[in-house]
Amino acid sequence: MEPFVLQNQTYFLIESWIKQHPGLIAGITTKNGGNSKGCFENLNLGFHVGDTQVDVCSNRTKVAELIQFPLNNWVGAEQTHDIFIKKVTKADCGRGSDSYDHSFKGTDGFYTNEKDILLTLCFADCVPLFFIAPDKHMIGAAHAGWKGTVHGIARKMIEAWGSEGINPKQIFIAIGPSICQKCYIVDDYVINIVQNTLEDIDKKPYNLISDGQYSLNLKEVNRLLLLRAGVPAQNILMTDYCSSCDHKEFFSHRRDQGRTGRMLSFIGWKESTNRL
């Protein structure tokens, strides 16, 4: 069953998680319902892509209202396709929420066990990873393009949580809307690195389609690396949505030839919904 369920034109939620965990909000926006113009039509949530600050802030305010999580409580990252992940606390709230300049530099993932902080990251083809360890009230998010994926950002989160006393078997993961295997064509350079990363895997998540050209399933690479890190298969949800194929819902960096907007992944615990 598809884990990401459209709530209205503006965002998807990971519905089974929301039902299981009172107070949790987790999902990803679409490209619909905002004010941006031109190639950013119309719910662009990325500051760094050439859109106007005014339109991006207005779009962010709209999402904050829809998901009922104040913009002042969001955190955002620069996202450099590296694997640095940052534990955030309430003191960090607001950083990167209303401008790119104040976002966390050189950061591609966040985690926290505190309430009232929304972990946000921007996407247009790269793989959004959502993490939760309900026993420890821990949540996390990571941005996994091919570089972050093969350099092990998923494993890095599992290891960071290990040092917080969390066993991989306690961790649940959702792999979100991103570019599908059919749409993601890469060259020998990328495939050689993927091959080295997955040398122990028999069924490789890529196919040769023409001389030096391969179609790569980046969602599946992340799933395989999570299994290797000790996360049980039944703990991992994976979407069928593709940012490129599903053109009515998503921005795609590849499909739109680099001039496009960004969707926003989000995960947070709401303060106002304390369990009785």
CA distance readout (Å), 79 to 18, 45, 229 = 26, 14, 23
Among 18, 39, 183, 186, binds Zn ion (CB under 5 A): 183
**CA nearest neighbour of 119 among 99, 94, 82, 144:** 94
Instruction: Decide if 265 contacts 144 (C-beta within 8 A).
Output: no
Site for Zn ion contains 154 (CB under 5 A): no
66 binds Zn ion (CB under 5 A): no
Q: Is 180 in the site for Zn ion (CB under 5 A)?
A: yes
Closest CB 253 distance from Zn ion, rounded Å:
13
Nearest distance, CB of residue 181 and Zn ion, angstroms: 8
Q: Shortest approach of Zn ion to residue 180 CB, angstroms? A: 3
Q: Which amino acid, one-letter code, is at 118?
A: L
Q: Are strands 236-238 and 172-175 parallel, antiparallel or unpaired?
A: parallel
Q: Are 173 and 130 in contact (CB under 8 A)?
A: yes
Stretch that binds Zn ion, among 72-80, 119-127, 206-214, 236-244 (CB under 5 A): 236-244
Q: Which among 96-104, 187-195, 220-228, 244-252 is the span making contact with Zn ion, rule CB under 5 A? A: 244-252
Paired residues of 44 in beta bridges: none
- Contact criterion met (CB below 8 Å) for 81 and 147: yes
Based on CB atoms, which residue is closest to Zn ion, 57 or 183? 183
Q: How far is the CB of 244 from Zn ion (least distance, A)?
A: 4
Q: Does 245 bind Zn ion (CB under 5 A)?
A: yes
Q: Which residue's CB is nearer to Zn ion, number 59 or number 244? A: 244
Nearest CB to Zn ion, comparing residues 75 and 179 = 179
Strands (E), 176-235: 185-187, 206-210, 213-216
Which residue in the set 242, 263, 264, 267 belongs to the binding site for Zn ion (CB under 5 A)? 242
Euclidean distance between the first and final Cα of the chain, in Å?
31
Confirm or reject binding of residue 244 to Zn ion (CB under 5 A). Answer: yes
Whether 88 and 110 have beta carbons less than 8 Å apart is answered as yes
Give me the residues that bind Zn ion (CB under 5 A), please: 180, 183, 242, 244-245
